[in-house]
Amino acid sequence: MATAAAGGRRRRVLFFPLPYQGHINPMFQLAGLLHARGFSITVFHVRFNAPDASAHPAYDFVSVPDDGMPADSPDTVQATMDHIVSVNRACEAPFRERLAALLERQRARAEDVACLVADSHLLTLLGVARGLGVPTLALRLGSAACFRCLTAFPMLCDKGYLPVQESSQLDAPVVELPPYRIGDLPASSAAAHGQLREVLSRVVTAVTTSSGLILDTFDALEADELAALRRDLAVPVFDVGPLHKLSPAASSSLLRQDRGCLDWLDGQPPASVLYVSFGSLASVSASDLVETAWGIANSGRPFLWVLRPGLVRGAPPSSISLPDGFDAATRGRGVVVSWAPQEEVLAHPAVGGFWTHCGWNSTLEGVCAGVPMLCRPFFADQMGNARYVDHVWRTGVTIDGELQRGKVEAAISTLMGAGEPGAGMRRRALELKNSAAASIGEAGSSSVNVDMLVSLIQSM
């Protein structure tokens, strides 16, 4: 196995994550993987959603001032784009100052800086590093299919797919990018379309101007999409996922996990529980919360439901009220928590289904656990991820359109029922789980790619 040792020098890899839970976790998993190979690690971060340095005592941390950034987590496409732009703008000068100081200190030590690994949304900061002579690698936290979509975004606009003009267009196929429909593409309002196009263009530029693209996926899951990226991109592509299975890194959760739910799961029959979680950023309306609650109640299934602070738009973040009568209707067969140790929950034998927003981390964790998924995507890449779950891998079902309790109940019954099509979804989900395990085994595709990545970093 390739390691960091070279000529007696210890190489240091720098990291800069985008400050959202779904971006911080995989970045730290990659850092843990490289640290296990002998690299020293320095993590640059902003004060917003700052990681817990005490959870990673072997790493060095450098705080970069983020003056001028919004104080709240974004929950819409527009707010997310504004936040990403503000991170790049606010951090450019202070990051340059702190990186230059670090490089000066390293010159006096018996180790040197190999490269910066930064989130692909941080184009400005990747440029700062290269300007100071530090090679860069872009970590793209999404599927290979989604990145192909980003590279094709100008074509999609030129051909009239985007911006979407009428809701009747949403089911129309994108013939150049099967299996996508127009409604599966990352999109925004017509007014914000120009900004979205610019943000996505910057992501592609961040990749094509770096020394390589790192993806948290694996070959058996996206073989055709990865082959297309390697054909079309002028930089090497390293699919090193699933990182959460491959890495020894400690948890980087920004929210306190309620581990008591694992004890409750211990008392439930195998594959009986529906696990419900909409991730760390997505939000729902008060009416959707009511329909979700009664759909779960009417299904009759045991459930573990994550109601994250701030999940319901317009409601006080510290308290979420479930509809009157819900507790009585579900007493004895459900648990509600504010946050859960998701990887452990999905791996628990009692969990038989996963209702997810289809963020890439959650989608990949569901795949690796072999759990069929009930998909309710909200924005960004989530619609495309759901399309792959239910139409390509066929390991789940999507609830489209207006959320109604009857549709929810029927979808849960389909997903977790004893007969078809639920049995087929479970069978295919188990096949993907086995493929994921093989990818990180000895001579597996992801293990080979990690060796190649380590060799590239060592040569920088």
* Domain hosting residue 317, numbered range: 260-437
- Quick: pLDDT tens for 377-426: 988 899 999 999 999 999 999 998 899 999 999 999 999 998 889 999 99
Residues 184 and 307 in one domain: no
Catalytic residue among 66, 83, 119, 381: 119
Enter the tokens of residue 421: 């099509």
- Identify whether residues 293 and 234 lie together within a single domain: no
Is the CB of residue 214 less than 8 Å from the CB of residue 140? yes
The verdict on residue 248 lying in a domain is: no
265 and 384 belong to one structural domain: yes
Structural domain tally of the chain? 2
Position 250 in a domain: no
Distance between alpha carbon 203 and the CA centroid of its chain, in Å?
A: 15
Cα–Cα distance for residue pair 154/316, rounded to 1 Å: 40
Mark whether 93 and 212 lie in a shared domain.
yes
d(CA 235, CA 184): 27
Same domain (yes/no): 120, 219: yes
447 and 426 fall within a common domain: no
Q: Read off the pTM.
A: 0.93
Give the span between the Cα atoms of 376 and 380, in whole angstroms: 13
**10-residue mean pLDDT series, the chain (460 residues):** 53 94 91 95 92 92 83 68 88 96 85 94 97 97 96 94 85 94 85 86 96 98 97 96 86 75 96 94 89 96 93 78 93 93 96 96 96 93 96 96 94 92 96 97 96 96
Q: Assess if residue 87 is contained within a domain.
A: yes
Q: How far is CA 145 from CA 224, 446, 450, in A?
A: 9, 17, 20
Does the residue 2 lie in any domain? no
At 130 the pLDDT is 97
Q: Verify whether residue 327 is a known catalytic residue.
A: no
Whether 119 is catalytic is yes
- Let me know whether 455 and 408 are in one domain: no
> In terms of domains, do 274 and 226 share one?
no
Spatial distance between the Cα atoms of 213 and 223, rounded to a whole number of angstroms: 16
**Are 391 and 453 contained in the same domain?**
no
Residues 357 and 292 in one domain: yes
Whether the Cβ atoms of residue 274 and residue 333 lie closer than 8 Å to each other: no
Task: Please name which of 51, 45, 3 lies closest in space to residue 250, comparing C-alpha atoms.
Answer: 51
In a domain, 249, yes or no: no
Identify the residue whose tokens are 């409604």.
183
**How many other CB atoms are there within 10 angstroms of residue 28's CB atom?**
25
* Residue 6 confidence (pLDDT): 47
Name, in order, each residue with C-beta under 8 angstroms of 216's C-beta and a sequence gap of 6 or more: 26, 29, 30, 139, 141, 240, 241, 242, 243, 360, 361, 364
**Type of residue at 259:** R
pLDDT given at position 69: 67
Q: Contact at 8 Å (CB) between 373 and 356?
A: yes
Tens of pLDDT, residue by residue over 107-140, are 877 679 999 999 999 999 999 999 999 999 999 9
Q: 53 lies in a domain?
A: yes
Domain-embedded: residue 255: no
Q: For helices 193-208 and 123-131, give the axis angle rounded to 10 degrees.
A: 30
* Domain-located, residue 220: yes
Same domain, 423 and 448: no
**What's the CATH code of the domain at 55?**
3.40.50.2000
Evaluate whether 144 touches 239 at the Cβ level (below 8 Å): yes
Residue 188 in 3-state DSSP? Answer: coil
CB 24 within 8 A of CB 3: no
**Same domain? 430 vs 451:** no
